[in-house]
Chains A and B, each alone.
Chain A
Amino acid sequence: DSGVTQTPKHLITATGQRVTLRCSPRSGDLSVYWYQQSLDQGLQFLIQYYNGEERAKGNILERFSAQQFPDLHSELNLSSLELGDSALYFCASSVTGTYNEKLFFGSGTQLSVL
């Protein structure tokens, strides 16, 4: 158990819908990362937060948004869902979000858009 908690584990929804994925980082970790894993694209970085503030943005679509709350949990909101959004979404955490730290992943949310 990495200590990073993601809910839900599975999500099935229809095109055009909106969903929210939730992540609680390891105790003591201030930085949260979101990644998308699909078969053809590998692990793609979406966005990083540190202590409630957005720190870095990757290839995140405009239909997607995220935030980190004062209790440090984070939510990834996906709207106007398309079939191509079906993927495994991971949250990861580290202490300060810099490059000299280990990264720990949650077990992921498998999103299926039908």
Chain B
Amino acid sequence: GIQVEQSPPDLILQEGANSTLRCNFSDSVNNLQWFHQNPWGQLINLFYIPSGTKQNGRLSATTVATERYSLLYISSSQTTDSGVYFCAVHGGSYIPTFGRGTSLIVHP
């Protein structure tokens, strides 16, 4: 099946800093989504982005499907951005495959 690798595995920032999270995948995909798992365990869908660029407030995402990667940008980070960020891809099946995630801690 399709392999999904996320980097870095861990990230520690001071409030106000910017960051870029990366998701690489091993084969062509039909869909890619980014999720945020907050410290209370809730998984929130951030972006549905099979290709191109989308922005939502301080967050933006870019997927370059032909080069098999996606980037999640967080600008002016806040403590509420802490948690784990997952990317999930649909390859040839209807079932999304999740990466292992990037754990982000934002200090005040």
Interface centre among B31, B35, B50, B94 (most CB of A within 10 A): B94
Given the known inter-chain contacts A42-B101, A99-B31, please indicate yes or no for A104 contacting B94, CB distance below 8 A. Answer: no
Q: Complex formed: what's the CA distance from A23 to B71 in Å?
A: 32
Q: Does B26 have its Cβ within 8 Å of any Cβ on chain A?
A: no
B90: chain A residues at CB < 8 Å are 99
B95 near A58 with CB under 8 A, answer yes
Known interface pairs A45-B95, A99-B31; A108-B42 also in contact (CB < 8 Å)? yes
CB contact under 8 A between A105 and B95, given known A42-B101, A99-B30, A99-B31: no
A68 to B94, CA, bound (A): 18
Cβ < 8 Å to B, chain A residues 87-112? 88, 90, 92, 97-105, 107-108, 110
Q: What's the tally of chain A residues with a CB closer than 8 Å to chain B?
A: 24
* Residue among B41, B45, B99 making CB contact with A107, cutoff 8 Å: B41
A 1-55 contacts with B by CB, 8 A: 2, 33, 42-43, 45, 48, 55
**Chain B positions 25 through 40: 1 when the CB is less than 8 Å from some CB of chain A, otherwise 0:** 0000011010100001
Q: Is B69 an interface residue (CB 8 A)?
A: no
A83 proximity list for chain B (CB < 8 A): none
Beyond A42-B100, A103-B45, 16 additional pairs, beta carbon < 8 A: A2-B44, A42-B99, A43-B86, A43-B88, A45-B95, A48-B95, A55-B94, A56-B95, A97-B94, A99-B93, A99-B94, A101-B48, A102-B33, A103-B96, A105-B42, A108-B42
CA distance A101 to B90 in the complex (A): 10
Chain B residues with Cβ under 8 A from A108's Cβ? 41-43
A102 in contact with B86 given A48-B95, A56-B94, A107-B41 (CB within 8 Å): no
